[in-house]
Structure 1
Amino acid sequence: MQQDILKPVVVLIAWTLVMWVWMLATRLPALKAAGIDLTKLTGSKTGDADRALPPKANWPAHNYNHLMEQPTIFYAVAIVIALTGTGNGFNAWLAWGYVALRIVHSVFQATVNKVGPRFVLFVASTLCLVALTLHAAMAVFHG
């Protein structure tokens, strides 16, 4: 099994945990400042916090949620590539590209949050994911 591709997988998992800490460090003080007592909340939804808190306090949480979405496909395709023995070389570089772009996207969304540049970063990372998916399909169906 070629494991180079698993390194960016671990880095993105670690980055997701960094964003979780960032989310807590941003949101908990904002909740306190807004007079919201977490111990008294029952059944709240994400939109409730969006309405109660300043936008900038929500941005890290929004990004954390994004890291629970498309990256799940990345994790799956990276494992397929590793299991098919095609996880080194170009595929590893594509995986590092995906992770780097997602990290830049996270920092940008959690700080500046301009949609145009965020969209460009998202599309660029998605193109890496598309290439990885095609390579995984080639390895599985033509390997």
Structure 2
Amino acid sequence: MGTMNAGGLSLIWPLLVQIALTLAVLGVMGRLRLKALSAREVRLGDVAVSSTAWPERAKQAANNFSNQFETPVLFYVLIMVAIHVGATGPVMTVLAWGYVASRIAHAIEHIGTNNVRRRFAIFSGGVVVLAAMLVGILIAAL
């Protein structure tokens, strides 16, 4: 196993929780899809080419699952770069956890009540955290 500075471990935990969130959303999506198939709300042939036939809640979960591969990809890269340049202090750790908290809140809102204004505010907060992480990494790299 490679070596990592001790501070880098503090950033691995939020990264792992973000990955766990993605897998949890996948599980919710799968459960909702299986439920729809079992209840005959949709047939496999209806969704073979397009996902538009899934019930609303299954679509919400699928959309959120797709979202887990958008800004979180930037988060993963920022975590790895932060570890590489040694930007692993308490501020970066708090930012990383803040981002993950925003993703958890976003997933709950998206799959739950899906209030678009609230969901956008949560999403925007996460993006601001990513920008702050980038600034911290740039400062550490100079």
**In which range does the TM-score fall when normalised by the shorter chain?**
0.7 to 0.9
CA-to-partner distance for each residue in 1:59-83, whole Å, 9 max, x for gaps? 1111010001110000000111111
| Structure 1 SS opposite 2:51 | helix
CA-to-partner distance for each residue in 1:44-98, whole Å, 9 max, x for gaps? 2xxx222x12212211111010001110000000111111112120000000000
CA-to-partner distance for each residue in 1:120-140, whole Å, 9 max, x for gaps? 000001110000011112222
Change (3 A) 1:41 1:122: closer
Counterpart of 1:7 in structure 2 is: 13
Counterpart of 1:117 in structure 2 is: 118
Please list, as runs of the form range in 1=range in 2, the aligned pairs for 1:1-143 lying within 5 A after superposition: 1=5, 2-3=7-8, 4-32=10-38, 33-37=40-44, 44=49, 48-50=50-52, 52-140=53-141, 142=142
| Structure 1 SS opposite 2:88 | coil
Gap runs ≥5 in structure 1: none
| Structure 1 SS opposite 2:17 | helix
Compare relative contact order (CA 8 Å, sep 6+) and give the higher one, 1 or 2: 1
Change (3 A) 1:55 1:74: same
Q: Once superposed, which parts of structure 1, at least 4 consecutive aligned residues long, lie more than 3 Å away? A: none
Gap runs ≥5 in structure 2: none
- Partners of 2:66 and 2:134 in 1: how far apart? 22
Deviation at 1:41, TM superposition (A): 6.6
TM-score for both structures, normalised by structure 2? 0.88
Letter in 2 for 1:124: G
TM-score for both structures, normalised by structure 1? 0.87
The alignment of Structure 1 onto Structure 2 pairs a total of residues equal to 135
- Partners of 2:47 and 2:13 in 1: how far apart? 39
- Partners of 2:30 and 2:136 in 1: how far apart? 37
Question: Cα RMSD (Å) of the superposition?
Answer: 1.7
| Structure 1 SS opposite 2:65 | helix
